[in-house]
Amino acid sequence: MTAIFTARPENGLAWITGASSGIGRALALRLVEEGYSVVVTARSHDKLVDLQHEAAGTGRIIVLDGDVTDPQDMERLLTAIEYEHGQVALAILNAGVVLPVRGDDLRREAFDRSFAVNLNGVVNCLVPLIEHMKAKGHGQIAVMSSVAGYGGVPTSAAYGASKAALINMAESHKFDLDRIGIRLQVICPGFVGTPGSAKGGFPRPALVSTEEAAARICAGLKSSRFEITFPRRFTYLVKLLRILPYGIYFALLDRLVPRGATVASASKRKPTGSDGKPRQAV
């Protein structure tokens, strides 16, 4: 079996999608401190420029606009990155949206958008990434999933299903990518705080800051672990809940989650623009 690659700044660029806010933004700042040149991608150009100005360290921020829901745009973007700036050694596919849904008031749009960004957006990046990394014989890719992918919770049918699909997809791809020297990891955070996280309407146990999340992810990227999950005292408890009989599982969740609460990652609350319509959480 080919030795599995672990990226370092001297190996090439880091690329982060969904880098204009939340975990993606904190990761970009952290990787610049570690010496990486970091390509940041999102549709929020002004926020990326602000990030570029804030970054401090031996690395640098390279701003490139992009929409992960457009496969041609991602093909073009990766080609432009490697032609103009250098090879991508590390990619963190982080862009995502949270669109809460209720089973008694279903809207197709929430599912279409969630799968387009959270799932297909990752695939649209993976296809060109793997081709480029395969040609070099090495690379490292981390896919941002969530503890919400471990099991169903109220109002999280669209978000949780997309994140569960990412876990399954990463597990399946790992067999083939290991053989060609590409390290694939999945990131499953618990609750990560943002300035608006206190308005959730339900308990968020073991809440961590975006800076702490970035530190734990960066440590996980240097490890041999396939799954990067934190804080473990919470995420492992959620894993344990999934092996309980359904009767107990549903009863526990019904008691723990207040009626009418919106369960979604605090790091990616439902984004809206001035017109009140959902926006991509990047």
Spatial distance between the Cα atoms of 88 and 84, rounded to a whole number of angstroms: 11
Q: Is 163 a catalytic residue?
A: yes
**Nearest CA-CA partner of 169 in 152, 149, 139, 190:** 149
The angle subtended at Cα 97 by Cα 195 and Cα 89, nearest 5°, is: 95
Q: How many residues does the chain have?
A: 282
Quick check: helix, strand or coil at residue 10?
helix
Of these residues, 36, 150, 163, 268, which one is catalytic?
Answer: 163
Measured at the CA of 65, the angle between CA 108 and CA 228, to 5 degrees, comes to: 70
What secondary structure letter does DSSP report for 2? P
Out of 36, 134, 150, 159, the active site residue is 159
CA atoms within 13 A on the CB side of 200: 24
Q: What's the one-letter identity of residue 209?
A: S
H-only helix segments in the chain? 22-33, 45-54, 71-84, 108-114, 120-136, 157-179, 210-221, 232-241, 246-256
Residues involved in catalysis: 159, 163
